[in-house]
Amino acid sequence: MQYKQWLDEWLNTIVKPLRKLRTYQSYCEIANQHLIPNLGEYEMDFLSASVLQNFTAQITTKYSANTVNAIITVLKSSLQLAETTGITQRQYSGSIQYPKREEKQIECFSAAEQRKIEQFIIGKKKIKLYGVLLCLYTGIRIGELLALEWKDVDLPRGLITVSKTCHDSWEDGKYKKIIATPKTRSSIRVIPVPRRIIPYLREMKKKSCGAFVVSGSEGEGISIRSYQRTFELLLVHLKIRHKGFHSLRHTFATRAIECGMDVRTLSEILGHNNPTVTLKRYVHSLMEHKCAMMNKLAKNLE
């Protein structure tokens, strides 16, 4: 059997029924763009250690470490099951040497930029962009924000329940919003909303005509790409250097550390698996906070 034949069988009989739709779509994209063109014609028993390592070396020169790791993950999963089910006598994916994973640089908005964004949204009463305020003060991801429904919001108690997320799927020439469960159990969480944000949520609900907290003029859900584009145009209008929407989450985490929030609490609010993830990701913010605290301590000598 050729590897491309096994990939098709594996994707449609194993991955599709057992994994999330988004995972299946991602695996198909990797298979069609990388695995089939380079390894698809090989017979299963001829995918030797040298063939796999040469393929890894080839893609390492073209793509980022994270992309290479994603490709190798699909390759290994498919080959390991092929060996388990007897499709091939032996597979060599365990001998692949991974490239070093590169940590993405954390970008957040400065306090001055954050004030500028907030003042514009509040001053102009941009109801659609109140979702940006919610991200700045809760740290929720864009997929979680756009999947948030009013039934998930407890205004009297000031709580929001994050129990789902969404992603875009390209269908019939346009983006379609797909609602799904979060990737990890820790992403399901209840977040207290700061009191100063509650009035804006009430205003959003008063003018809402649909189930989603952030919605279009007729109450319909908004795609991720559409909301990202709206945010990009906001930054252009305010003459703020472009940063991705996810920078709002990083900004929340940085401000939380600056005001003295403990790492465990921050980790739970962000939906991280454990505080170690938070510590590793925001060590730069922690160092700035430590420096500020040490300088504050030194003022006692003046």
Residues with pLDDT less than 70, the chain:
99-104, 170-171, 175, 302
Please give the model's pTM, rounded to 2 decimal places: 0.75
Question: What CATH architecture does domain 111-292 belong to?
Answer: Orthogonal Bundle (1.10)
**Dihedral in degrees, nearest 10, Cα atoms 96, 106, 183, 33:** -50
Give the C-alpha separation, 146 to 196, whole Å: 21
Give the C-alpha separation, 133 to 228, whole Å: 14
Phi, psi of 131 (to 5 degrees): -60, -30
**The pLDDT value given to residue 99:** 66
3-state SS assignment for residue 172: coil
State the CB neighbour count (10 A cutoff) for residue 281: 17
**The pLDDT value given to residue 294:** 84
Q: What is the DSSP string of 72-120?
A: HHHHHHHHHHHHHTTSSS---GGGPPPPPPPPPPP----HHHHHHHHHH
Q: CA angle 12-16-19, nearest 5°?
A: 150
Amino acid at 65: A
Q: What are the domain boundaries of the chain?
A: 3-95, 111-292
Burial 24-41 (b: 16+ CB within 10 A, else e): bbbbbebbeebbbebbbe
**The pLDDT value given to residue 189:** 96
Encoded tokens for 71? 């490709």
Fold topology of 3-95: DNA polymerase; domain 1 (1.10.150)
**The pLDDT value given to residue 220:** 82
**The pLDDT value given to residue 219:** 76
